[in-house]
């Protein structure tokens, strides 16, 4: 269907959202208008990298680029509250709010609502429009202000309806922010707890110990290679991939504590379970990224759950296997979370550390307590991980609910723009 045909449909039948608040059911159709008729758009101004400070200091103002906050600078170009559109880079088309006094670089577009347009509603509209689809260029995609101005949308004729939608979504965003804060607090608590439950560098006893182990003495020093073995996977060829079957667990699937599957998940024929039994991963197995094992300051190590069982181990992903009764299986995950991360950071000083050298890792010495104390530590941290997982699920549920709600509160943009 051509755009002009859709315009006829919009004018004759009216284009409305699937969900509308009761008090606006008889408020008439929404109006089809280009963005340039409801808001102004202006690209920011260039500021050199040398004039941007990474830390906030008195007299400096936030400086926003295409991907959000870049740092702080001495000058500001805007005062107030405005939606900003990232116009350059990997996050081209992302929308964020800038408040009070700030500077916007040439990689951000400052959006100013016209009279009769609620600014919060406008923010959610811009998010809903998925503006990155209008980016041009291959190596460095970018958004043109002139192109964005011509994007057609549908808006409520009454500002009160805009405000009602904005209030609804803002309230939901507040719930999401509160849930995210709760989750971050739990993660910070776990991080602090692990620092106390395990000995600090150069120490043989932790600062925090369960009462029944107060008089158990110092932890024992052991060679890692005598406790654990790390088995790497196989480099399957693309010609072996299939549309379904058994999932191939690759480095990108190893998250921070859990496995991440996506629409890009690779499959191998189902019979590979029998052909490569030594590479089959099951619930409870622990896997570690051997290439670039630390990203965003976190070690990529994860435990497989029921939903990850079965899968096949790919090359440069290691499966951890305990080879001594001196170490408890459930304790392995937590001691490795701490020790291997410290090992990688130490080894990567002055380099990018693209992979873990198993030969060097096996030589390292670690301190461990008795199996009984190991189990107590693992049980404590496992309970905390379950709580974190529950809170993370609640956060994901809220985000999915918001996405679905926005799809119903705004008409489908594809029905307006071809």
Identify the band that residue 367 occupies on the pLDDT scale cut at 50, 70 and 90. very high
Report the Cα–Cα distance between both ends of the chain, in Å, rounded: 8
Provide the pLDDT for residue 187: 94
Provide the pLDDT for residue 105: 86
Does 147 share its domain with 224?
A: no
90 or 15, which is more confident?
15
Answer whether residue 392 is part of any domain.
no
Does 147 share its domain with 241?
A: no
Residues near 172 by beta carbon (within 8 Å), at least 6 away in sequence: 398, 401, 402, 405
Provide the pLDDT for residue 418: 52
Provide the pLDDT for residue 90: 61
Helix spans in 198-255 (H): none
Does 130 share its domain with 236?
A: no
Answer whether residue 306 is part of any domain.
yes
Does 233 share its domain with 351?
A: yes
- Spatial contact of 61 and 103, defined as CB atoms under 8 Å apart: yes
pTM for the model stands at 0.82
Give percent of the chain with pLDDT exceeding 90: 63
Which CATH number do you get for residue 250? 3.90.220.20
Q: With 70 as the cut, is the pLDDT of residue 3 above it?
A: no
How many domains does one find in the chain? 2
Q: What is the mean pLDDT of the chain?
A: 89
- What does the alpha-carbon distance between residue 279 and residue 240 come to, in Å, rounded to a whole number? 16
Identify the band that residue 345 occupies on the pLDDT scale cut at 50, 70 and 90. confident
Domain range enclosing 263: 220-368
Provide the pLDDT for residue 9: 38
40-52 residue pLDDT tens: 999 988 888 888 8
Provide the pLDDT for residue 5: 35
Provide the pLDDT for residue 28: 86
Q: With 80 as the cut, is the pLDDT of residue 10 above it?
A: no
Does 106 share its domain with 224?
A: no
Answer whether residue 280 is part of any domain.
yes
418 or 336, which is more confident?
336
The CA distances from residue 402 to 23, 92, 391, 406, 415, in Å, are: 21, 22, 17, 6, 21
Does 241 share its domain with 129?
A: no
Provide the pLDDT for residue 89: 66
Does 282 share its domain with 147?
A: no
Provide the pLDDT for residue 413: 66
298-340 residue pLDDT tens: 899 999 999 999 999 999 999 999 999 999 999 999 999 889 8
Which of 351, 368, 385 is where one domain is finished? Answer: 368
217-252 residue pLDDT tens: 999 999 999 999 999 999 999 999 999 999 999 999
Provide the pLDDT for residue 8: 36
Answer whether residue 70 is part of any domain.
yes
Answer whether residue 19 is part of any domain.
no
Which of 101, 122, 155 is where one domain is finished? Answer: 155
Give, as one character, the DSSP assignment of residue 133. Answer: G
Does 133 share its domain with 246?
A: no
Task: For tokens 């101004």, name the residue.
Answer: 45
Q: With 90 as the cut, is the pLDDT of residue 39 above it?
A: yes
Does 270 share its domain with 130?
A: no
Pairing mode, if any, of strands 220-223 and 95-104?
unpaired
- Spatial contact of 69 and 62, defined as CB atoms under 8 Å apart: yes
- Spatial contact of 254 and 288, defined as CB atoms under 8 Å apart: yes
Mean pLDDT of 392-396: 95
Q: With 70 as the cut, is the pLDDT of residue 351 above it?
A: no
Task: Look at residue 136 and give its three-state secondary structure.
Answer: strand
Which of 155, 185, 212 is where one domain is finished? Answer: 155
Answer whether residue 116 is part of any domain.
yes
DSSP calls for 249-296: E-GGGB-SBSB---TT-EEE-TTHHHHTGGGEE-TT-EEEESBS-EET
Mean pLDDT of 334-363: 81
Does 242 share its domain with 346?
A: yes
- What does the alpha-carbon distance between residue 73 and residue 45 come to, in Å, rounded to a whole number? 12
Identify the band that residue 12 occupies on the pLDDT scale cut at 50, 70 and 90. very low
109-163 residue pLDDT tens: 999 999 999 999 999 999 999 888 888 876 677 888 999 999 999 999 889 999 9
Answer whether residue 200 is part of any domain.
no
Does 224 share its domain with 363?
A: yes
Task: For tokens 């096996």, name the residue.
Answer: 362
Identify the band that residue 414 occupies on the pLDDT scale cut at 50, 70 and 90. low
411 or 92, which is more confident?
411
Answer whether residue 40 is part of any domain.
yes
Does 144 share its domain with 254?
A: no
Provide the pLDDT for residue 2: 30
């Amino acid at each position: 269907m051509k755009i002009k045909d859709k315009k006829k449909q919009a004018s004759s039948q009216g284009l409305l959202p699937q969900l509308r608040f009761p008090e606006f059911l008889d408020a008439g159709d929404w109006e089809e208008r280009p963005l340039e008729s409801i808001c102004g758009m202006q690209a920011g101004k260039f500021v050199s990298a040398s004039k941007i400070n990474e830390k906030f200091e008195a007299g400096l103002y936030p400086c926003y680029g295409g991907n959000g906050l870049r740092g702080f600078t001495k000058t500001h170009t805007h005062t107030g509250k405005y939606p900003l559109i990232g116009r350059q880079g990997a996050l081209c088309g992302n929308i964020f709010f800038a408040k009070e006094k700030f500077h916007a670089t040439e990689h951000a577009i400052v959006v100013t609502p016209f009279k009769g347009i609620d600014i919060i509603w406008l923010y959610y509209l811009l998010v809903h429009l998925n503006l990155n689809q209008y980016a041009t260029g291959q190596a460095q995609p970018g958004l043109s202000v002139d192109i964005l101005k011509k994007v057609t949308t549908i808006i409520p004729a009454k500002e009160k309806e805009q405000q009602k939608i904005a209030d609804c979504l803002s309230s939901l965003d507040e719930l999401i922010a509160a849930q995210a804060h709760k989750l971050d607090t739990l993660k910070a608590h776990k991080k602090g707890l692990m620092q106390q439950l395990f000995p600090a560098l150069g120490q043989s006893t932790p600062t925090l110990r369960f009462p029944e182990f107060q008089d158990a003495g110092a932890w024992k020093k052991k060679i890692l290679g005598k406790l654990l073995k790390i088995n790497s996977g196989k480099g399957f060829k693309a010609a072996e991939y299939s549309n379904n079957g058994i999932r191939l667990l690759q480095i990108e699937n190893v998250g921070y504590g859990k496995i991440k599957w996506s629409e890009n998940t690779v499959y191998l024929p189902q019979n590979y379970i029998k052909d490569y039994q030594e590479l089959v991963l099951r619930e409870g197995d622990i896997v570690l990224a051997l290439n670039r094992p630390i990203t965003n300051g976190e070690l990529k190590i994860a435990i497989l759950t029921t939903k990850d069982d079965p899968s096949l181990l790919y090359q440069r992903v290691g499966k951890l296997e305990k080879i001594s009764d001196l170490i408890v299986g459930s304790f392995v995950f937590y001691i490795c979370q701490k020790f291997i991360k410290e090992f990688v950071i130490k080894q990567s000083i002055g380099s990018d550390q693209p992979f873990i050298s198993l030969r060097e890792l096996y030589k390292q010495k670690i301190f461990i307590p008795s199996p009984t104390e190991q189990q107590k530590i693992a049980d404590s941290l496992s309970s905390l991980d379950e709580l974190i997982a529950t809170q993370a699920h609640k956060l994901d549920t809220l985000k999915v609910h918001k996405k679905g709600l926005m799809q119903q509160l705004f008409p489908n943009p594809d029905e307006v723009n071809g």
